Amino acid sequence: MSLVKPTHAGYFFGQSIITLAARLRAGSVTSVELTQAALDSIERLNPVLNAFVHVDAPVALAQARKADALFAQGQDLGPLQGMPIAVKDNIDTFDYITTYGSAHFDRFKPNHDALCVQRVREAGAVIIGKTLTHEFAYGPTGDRSLQGAARNPWDARCITGGSSAGSAAAVASGMVPLALGTDTGGSIRIPAALCGTVGFKPSFASVPLDGVFPLASSLDHVGPIANHVEDARLLFEVLAGRACQPAATPRALRVGWITCASIGRPAIGCSTLGRADFMRLPSPAARMMTCRGRLMAGGSLGDGRGSLEQDAPAPRHPATAPGSMARMPSPGAPCR
């Protein structure tokens, strides 16, 4: 099957970090060559897509040479070593201007990296530049910024979505294989969906927000944008400060506490709630509670057909625990 490419495609379109990492370690390509490929793709495509707002070739190539030197010395920092990566322009970088998409911060250069950027550097990645953000990351379209609008690589007449507009466009077009984004109310998920990349909003506080422009501190998240699910996982592991290695044997997909292998199989050692029993329950509320309780206790629904096997305890949210209630702050009290 031939791979459908966007109208504007660069060197890294569709390429996997795992494949590129293997080539780096085999010596068939260097970090300098990958970084130069990214710079060439940016030079060719960015005038159309406006995904990058700040790029410094000498800075990026210096990082690439350092990564190659570490390889030559036998030092391997993990799969991201030597990989070009883009950073959204609401995340601080000490060596690149960070405008947060606003004229108020035009030409502003932070003194320190954001902690998430520091972790990416420590993993050996090459920060190639900053990508366009909707001003202060406050918008889902990606067309309101000091630097204008990012454009969708599949059709430059269309929006990318936002606010991680440039990061999604940069990865979708193949200018870079990975990018950092932020998500408060959809700012990774919306552009990832509109541009056809992989991106997700991690669990709260799994990635530190130090050095990230605050929009809503209880909702802000930093997360990955990538070409492939496994690439997104590898970048997330680095952002979260965990060990980062390709999965030799990927774990089975889970939906909540149910594994994909259990779908369509009868429950083992657990009772099954049949349709006749279900219809004899006195009210819709009773039916709902019975179904919920049966599943949480390890049972299944249906007369042995299409049932769901329960193979792990059901998680319980604190707000739904027995004897507990979600508490709302009193008027005037700060939200936490």
Catalytic residues: 88, 163, 187
Burial call 56-90: b when 16+ CB within 10 Å, e when fewer: beebbbebbeebbebbeeeeebbbbbbbbbbbbbb
State the Cα–Cα distance between residues 196 and 300, nearest whole angstrom.
Answer: 36
- The tokens describing 36, both together, are 């130069």
CA atoms within 13 A on the CB side of 118: 12
Q: Any idea what DSSP says for residue 20?
A: H
At residue 9, the 3 state secondary structure works out as coil
Q: Can you read off the two tokens belonging to residue 235?
A: 């970048």
Give me the helix-helix angle, 57-72 and 31-49, nearest 10°. Answer: 150
State the first-to-last Cα distance of the chain, in angstroms, to the nearest integer: 50
Question: CA-CA distance, 16 to 11, in Å (whole number)?
Answer: 12
Cβ 243 vs Cβ 272: under 8 Å: no
Site of tokens 């466009």: 169
Distance CA 223, CA 212 (A): 12
Helix axes 115-122, 229-239, angle to 10 degrees: 110
* DSSP for 248-293, written as a single string: SSPPPPEETTEEGGGBTS--SSS-EE-HHHHHHSSSHHHHHHHHHH
Q: Computed over its alpha carbons, how large is the radius of gyration of the chain? A: 23
Q: Is 321 exposed, middle or buried (0-12, 13-18, 19+ CB in 10 A)?
A: exposed
